[in-house]
Amino acid sequence: MDINALTQEAEHRLSRDRENKVASVVAAGKTGTALLHAREELGVAEREHNLTHAAAQRQGWSAKDLKELGIEPATKQATGRPRKVSPAPVAE
């Protein structure tokens, strides 16, 4: 094999390797972006589900009732200030 052919073959392999590396990072970037969007959408769906689940409970449904109906449990309990419990009256 002469030096020109060897040089061309080496350049061809390096070019192919570079193209493969670029293609792999582009693919990883695309899937990473898709994953980020999916996580954002999941967060929105979870917040909405938590709100509607809490609303159903305020309407009188228990978490057990909702589960028996096939409704997923809330992923997080509703936030807010805890209810204040009045102390029991002291017996004299």
| pTM value > 0.85 | no
What's the CA gap between 68 and 70, in Å, rounded?
Answer: 5
**pLDDT tens-digit series, residues 4-28:** 999 999 999 999 999 999 999 999 9
CB atoms within 10 A of CB 56: 17
Are the beta carbons of 75 and 49 closer than 8 angstroms? Answer: yes
Ordered by start, the domain boundaries in the chain are: 25-64
pLDDT higher than 80, residue 83: no
What's the CA gap between 80 and 28, in Å, rounded?
Answer: 40
